[in-house]
Amino acid sequence: MRLLVAVLFIAFVSYTQSAVTLPCLRGTNLSGLEFGGATPGKFNKDYTEPTQKEIDYFTGKGMNIFRLPFLWERVQPDLNGALNDTYLGYIQNFVTNANAKGAYVLLDVHNYARYRGGVIGQAGSGVTGANFADLWSKLATAFKNSPRVLFGIMNEPHGMATELWLADANAAIAAIRSVGATQTITVPGNGWTGAWAWTSSGYGTPNSVVMLGVKDPLNNFLFEVHQYMDSDGSGTHNTCVNATIGSHRLEVFTVWARQHGFKALLGEWAGSDDATCMSAISDMANYMNKNKDVYNAWTWWSAGPWWGSYMFSIEPQCGVVDAPQLTNLLPYLKC
């Protein structure tokens, strides 16, 4: 009996251990393609694309991954329809240029589990899990021969049942694998995928319970969590609670992920150049490097050509001077 229990335990552990084989990845979001809302808009008026100059600048600083937010409505103007060649071309061009510099690209459908405002799979929304799967079958087909691409299936689901989000996520994963794409997939939780709320029931059944049901036949996925350091964790204030708030807020997710053998990508985190935030940034980056068995990758929020004076932007000041937050991050880019 003891031998049987031991064999079953070993089998269970080997199944739950992540099959992700990516190197340690540290980088930033590069915004622009998601600007301007869900309407199509006009290129270089309502939205834009990150530039080669930015790719060169950030890879030159030691970053090796970019999270690239874009909108479902622009890449696929009609549900189940063809991908828009022009908008897809902006994404493909960025991937080609970033990969040429040795960097990975995380494709981020920046839609909050919605399409034109309709929640994926929710009754009466007009958007189904099958529609979501169709999007990802087409995106995965377009990029399945690009090994330095990761598939970020959705940005910050919220305002829905966690069980519904799991069903949507599994539909997307199945669609990606069905076309032969083998790259790593990043899977967010419900409730804005906040690390600090991973075990909370404030948004429904906790992610810590429901997201154990993620199904990937290749077991090649990362959980994507986000974490800000202001009072409500929203990332809308220029002050941080204290100098260790970031690492403190990551702890509950870290324990859960390690317990179940999962790896993670911290897709969004940031602080202003306020003195307390600067200390908190260093503390949080150091925490992730000390726990790199869990935090396989992180991408700062944010950079991009149109951020201007945005408090979290790490675009170079006057085009040449490193932002204070970037200077703070430099020692932690190698792990």
Q: Write down the residue that tokens 């804005």 correspond to.
A: 192
Nearest CA among 114, 79, 109 for reference residue 91: 109
Domain limits, the chain:
25-332
Nearest CA among 223, 298, 293 for reference residue 26: 298
The set of catalytic residues is: 156, 268
SS3 214: coil
Q: What is the pLDDT of residues 120-143, one digit of tens each?
A: 999 999 999 999 999 999 999 999
Work out the widest C-alpha separation in the chain, in whole angstroms: 69
Q: Write down the residue that tokens 């600048």 correspond to.
A: 57
Q: Write down the residue that tokens 């083998």 correspond to.
A: 182
> Under a CB-based contact definition with an 8 Å cutoff, are residues 150 and 184 in contact?
yes
Q: Which one is the CATH code of 25-332: 3.60.20.10, 3.20.20.70, 3.30.70.1400, 3.20.20.80?
A: 3.20.20.80
Q: Write down the residue that tokens 């087409």 correspond to.
A: 138
* pLDDT tens-digit profile, the chain (335 residues): 443 333 333 334 334 568 999 999 999 999 999 999 878 899 999 999 999 999 999 999 999 999 999 999 999 999 999 999 999 999 999 999 999 999 999 999 999 999 999 999 999 999 999 999 999 999 999 999 999 999 999 999 999 999 999 999 999 999 999 999 999 999 999 999 999 999 999 999 999 999 999 999 999 999 999 999 999 999 999 999 999 999 999 999 999 999 999 999 999 999 999 999 999 999 999 999 999 999 999 999 999 999 999 999 999 988 889 999 999 999 999 88
- What is the rounded distance in angstroms from the CA atom of residue 316 to the CA atom of residue 11? 50
- What is the rounded distance in angstroms from the CA atom of residue 227 to the CA atom of residue 295? 13
Q: Which two tokens stand for residue 94?
A: 């960025």
Tell which phi-psi region holds residue 220, choosing left (phi > 0), alpha (psi between -120 and 50) or beta. Answer: beta
Within its chain, how far is the Cα of 16 from the centroid? 21
Give the list of residues 6+ apart from residue 189 with CB closer than 8 angstroms, or none. Answer: 157, 162, 165, 198, 207, 210, 211, 223, 225
DSSP assignment of 153-193 equals: --S---SS-HHHHHHHHHHHHHHHHHTT--S-EEEE-SGGG
- Phi, psi (degrees; rounded to nearest 5) at 258: -65, -40
Give the list of residues 6+ apart from residue 107 with CB closer than 8 angstroms, or none. Answer: 68, 70, 91, 95, 139, 143, 149, 150, 151, 152
Q: Which two tokens stand for residue 330?
A: 């430099």
* Alpha-helical runs (H) found in 36-128: 52-60, 72-75, 85-100
Eight-state DSSP code of residue 323: P
